[in-house]
């Protein structure tokens, strides 16, 4: 399985590349954004982060995974084209 760790994404806003860049934890097979967390539950900011990465990368599937619970907590996020 191919993956990239800390994949950097530039932000193109109305034809201008912004100075701020985003870094996804993992991009798997150039198809899936994988964002890893270790916190007490998911918060709205985590979902927004994955949605931003999906928009910038033009990918459709994101996985949000949390390792700080008794059992693995995950959420699949799909963004339609």
pTM for this structure?
0.84
The two three-digit tokens of residue 41, written as one number = 């539950």
Predicted confidence (pLDDT) per residue in 24-68, tens digit: 999 999 999 999 999 888 889 999 999 999 999 999 999 999 998
Judged against a pLDDT cut of 90, whether residue 14 lies above it is answered with no
Q: What is the C-alpha separation between 42 and 75, in angstroms, rounded? A: 9
Q: What is the C-alpha separation between 77 and 60, in angstroms, rounded? A: 8
Q: Give the pLDDT confidence score for residue 36 in this predicted structure.
A: 94
């Amino acid at each position: 399985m191919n993956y990239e760790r800390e994949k950097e994404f530039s932000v193109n806003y109305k034809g201008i590349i912004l100075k701020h860049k985003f870094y996804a934890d993992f991009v798997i097979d150039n198809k899936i954004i994988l964002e890893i967390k270790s916190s007490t539950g998911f918060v709205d900011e985590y979902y927004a982060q994955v949605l931003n990465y999906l928009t910038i990368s033009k990918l459709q599937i994101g996985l949000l995974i949390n390792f700080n619970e008794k059992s693995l907590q995950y959420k699949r996020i799909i963004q339609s084209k």
